[in-house]
Structure 1
C-alpha cells in the first residue's frame, strides 16, 4: 500500500450522503461556508431560514461527504448534478447560467451523451480544514499555500480536496458517468493540475458568483492523465483500478509483456 493511500485511510473516509440526515449535514455545511463565512452574493442567509443551502438542482443530484475518522467531523462534501431522467435536455446549471458563453468550436452541448454527463458542483471544505495561507477565503480551501511543504503546519495528507476527488470518482462510477462539467475559479483548475485533475476550458472566464470559467472533460481523459503522471493518485481514486479500469493502452501493453 502506498504512503498516500495509507494516509488517506488513516485520516479520512468517504461517506455517501444518501440519507436525509447526511444530506442535511451537507446542506448545512454549504450554508455555513457560502452564506455565513464567505457571505457570497446570491447566498445571503435570509434565503435559507432553516440554515440549509438548497437549490432546484438538488432534486436531481447525488452527494458524498468526506469525514475525519478520529473526530467524526465532516471535512467537506460535493454533489454531482445528474441528467434529468424525464427530460434529458433540461439544462445543467452550467448550461443555464453560462452556456451562451461556450466556445462552440470546443463543445456542442446538444451532442453530449446527456444521460452519462454530470456537473461537479458545490465542492466545499469545512473551515477547520481550510487552515493554511489564504485557504479560508475559498469554499474549496485550495490555495497555493496548500502545497507549501515548508509550512510548519504540514498536513499528513496532501489536501482534503484530493479526498473529495476520491468521492467524485466513486459516485461517477456508481452512476455510469462518462463526462464531467464544472464551472469554477480558473485558479482552482490550475491547482487541480497538481493532482492531474484539471479540466478543459470551454469558454471564457465570466462573472458568476465571482470570476468563474466553464470546463468539460471525459473521465477517461482525466484518469488516463492521472495514471500517466501520478499512479499513486490513480491507485487512490480508482481503488487500484477496481472502480475505474486502467487506460486501455496500458492494459494492452501489460498483456503483451506477460504473453
Structure 2
C-alpha cells in the first residue's frame, strides 16, 4: 500500500493509483463497519454510572499509565469541562467491558471555554481557522480519547498511548483483530454522530499527528491548524467541519457512520 501511495501524485498514473487506493480503502471500510457492528457498540454516557466508567478509563490511561495527570483518590479523572460535555463509551459486546471513551466539549457562552482555548490557544496559527471565527453554539472540541491497555498492543510498544487503536493480540480472536485497530476511528465517528445530533458545524481537537494521518487515510480529513507542541505528549491542533467530514468519508466509512448514528439516535430518543 505504501509503495502505491508514493506514485499517487504523478500525472500519468496518479488517477489510476488513486482509484486502486480508494477501492482498497472502501472495501476495507465495509469490512470494518461490519466487524465494528458485530463486536463494538457506542454508548452515550447519560447516567452518572456510565460517566463514572468513562472517568475510570481516563484515570487508568491518563493518570496511571501515561502519568499526564495526578492520581485521584477515587480513581476517576475529571475536570471542569466535564460539566458541559457529552461523554461516549465504546462497549465490547462479547465481554461487556468498555474498549474506550471520548468526550465532546460544548460551549454555549463566551465564559465557557474549550480546552484548546484555555490551554493551547497560542498553538493555533493566526492565519488558520480559529474557534473565535464561529458562533459559540456551533463549535466543540473532541478530547480525552482513551483506550484501555488491554485493547492495545503490549505495553512496550513504542507508540503506546491513549490515542492508538492497537490491540492486545494475545487476548482476542483473529477475527476481532481486524476490527480493534479502528477503535479510535469508532470513537471519533461516535463523537461525530453526537456533534451532528446537536447541529454543531465546527470541531477542534489536540491530537498526535500520527493519529491524524491515520484518520485522514480512512476519510476523516482533520486539518492541522498549528505546529506540534508538548501537551500530553507531542500534539498539534486540528480542525474539521461537518462539510469536510461528509465530503471526506468513503462510502464504506459513511455506512459505518450511519450505523453508529442510528445507534446513538436511539439512545437520545430514549433519554427524551
Same fold (TM over 0.5): yes
Q: Which residue in 2 is equivalent to 1:59?
A: 83
Supply the distance in 1 between the matched residues of 2:186 and 2:146 (Cα, whole angstroms): 12
Instruction: Please say if residues 142 and 205 of structure 2, whose CA atoms lie closer than 8 Å, have aligned partners that are also in contact.
Output: yes
Query: Aligned pair 1:32/2:54, yes or no?
Result: no
Gaps of at least 5 residues in structure 2 are 1-29, 169-173, 264-272
Task: Report how many aligned residue pairs link the two structures.
Answer: 228
Supply the distance in 2 between the matched residues of 1:18 and 1:241 (Cα, whole angstroms): 16
Supply the distance in 2 between the matched residues of 1:101 and 1:131 (Cα, whole angstroms): 31
Supply the distance in 1 between the matched residues of 2:260 and 2:197 (Cα, whole angstroms): 16
Instruction: Describe how 1:84-233 pairs up with structure 2 within 5 A.
Output: 85=108, 87-88=109-110, 90-131=112-153, 134=157, 137-142=160-165, 155-157=177-179, 158-226=181-249, 230-233=250-253
Supply the distance in 2 between the matched residues of 1:140 and 1:189 (Cα, whole angstroms): 10
Gaps of at least 5 residues in structure 1 are 147-151, 244-259
> Normalising by structure 1, what TM-score?
0.80
Instruction: Please say if residues 181 and 217 of structure 1, whose CA atoms lie closer than 8 Å, have aligned partners that are also in contact.
Output: yes
Quote the offset at 1:35 in angstroms. 1.0
Quote the offset at 1:186 in angstroms. 1.4
> Normalising by structure 2, what TM-score?
0.76
Q: Which has the higher contact order (CA 8 A, sep 6+)?
A: 2
Query: Aligned pair 1:237/2:265, yes or no?
Result: no
Quote the offset at 1:57 in angstroms. 0.5
